[in-house]
Amino acid sequence: MKYLVVLCALVALSECLVRMPLIKGKSPRDVLQEKGLLEEYLKKHPYNPMVKFTQTGTESMTNDYDLAYLGVISIGTPPQSFKVIFDTGSSNLWVPSVYCSSPACQNHQKFNPQKSSTFKWGSQALNIQYGTGSMKGFLASDTVQVGGITVTQQGLGISDVEAPFMVHMQADGILGLAFQSIAADNVVPVFDNMIKQNLVSQQRFSVYLSSNSEQGSEVVFGGVDENHYTGQITWLPLTSATYWQIKMDSVTVNGQTVACNGGCQAIIDTGTSLIVGPTNDINNMNSHLGATTSQYGMASVSCQNIQSMPEVVFTLNGHAFTVPASAYVSQNSYGCSTGFGNGGSDKLWILGDVFIREFYAIFDTQTQYIGLAKSA
């Protein structure tokens, strides 16, 4: 399949904003479902999104085969281009390398260090665990271009072994946008280096995820784009400067608390497609929405009922954020299903793309706040 390559350039606005256009492609879940392989795959490789947020020493955990928003970056001199997920739920940048013989590397772009005059080997191996496997490789550094910004001496991983599920991903690799404290081998994340090298005017980036399958989504480095939201921005303090983690008070349907009773923690994560919570809570939510949940956690609803289905309200640090059925129900040729998936811990939720499509998200590394406003 051929991909649309987006050329990104520096855009002069009232603030110096740098845009990174994103392309929404089919997720590995969609690809597997189209081939009739999804249920068999889930049986063999249970979906375990919380592995992504488990810290074990120097390893940053990432896990999602639902990653779908892609951007094009380049690495090396002269530049070699790659499609990556911009992931606020992890902190490392890595791409496949020519040293990788895994099937997942054979249908993706591979970085060749010998063709880059600015490449430097690191002194450590890299091992990032996935819920369904792992990425293993080497640490290195090179020049990285993102949305018109050139970051020099950026630490990155180049893989030599990749998990089987990545065969089905459209992205070649991942660019993490969480904090250095959870980066594997304490590598300085790309955005941190943008700040250190004085490449952005503000220590914040923002994300707009369009529901359009092809156009409109973007990451803005160095500020916000007021055209992408309406009303006021609600600022929420982080409860942990590791992931972009905030306090969630409750989840309600028709005024009734159906999940997160008594409060819990939530992570705003662009690298997860669904809204993910503890199994009992998610099953209760889906039950209140009239959904039927399969043994693999997929919650189906009648497509004819979407307009009459209730809103779901997420109360974050005292502020209500409403997600309508038109946003949390997805429809394809196989039918309709909710965007609420189980697998979260009792205290930790993931507010993924289903949530972020409704709310423009601003990530401020200096103040350690997240800003949310209704997407325009």
Known catalytic residues are 87, 269
Question: 191: part of which helix (H) or strand (E)?
Answer: helix 190-196
SS3 335: strand
Q: Contact at 8 Å (CB) between 49 and 276? A: yes
β-pairing verdict for 16-21 and 264-268: unpaired
DSSP-derived pairing of the beta strands 335-338 and 329-332: antiparallel
Give dist(CA 372, CA 276) in Å, integer. 19
- Answer positive or negative: Cα dihedral of 37, 39, 40, 46: positive
CA 183 to chain centre: 15
Compute how many other C-beta atoms are within 10 angstroms of the C-beta atom of residue 324: 14
162: amino acid identity, one letter: E
Q: What backbone torsions phi and psi does residue 69 show, to the nearest 5 degrees?
A: -90, 120
Q: In whole angstroms, give the CA distance from residue 297 to residue 294.
A: 5
Cα separation of the two ends of the chain: 31
Which one-letter amino acid corresponds to residue 12? Answer: A
Residue 226, SS3?
helix
Distance of CA 11 to the CA centre of its chain: 24
Nearest to 93 by CA among 17, 7, 29, 171: 171
Give kind and range of the element (H or E) at residue 43.
helix 38-44
Residue burial 55-78, b: 16+ Cβ < 10 Å; e: rest = eeeebbbbbbbbbbbbbbbbbbbe
112 three-state secondary structure: coil
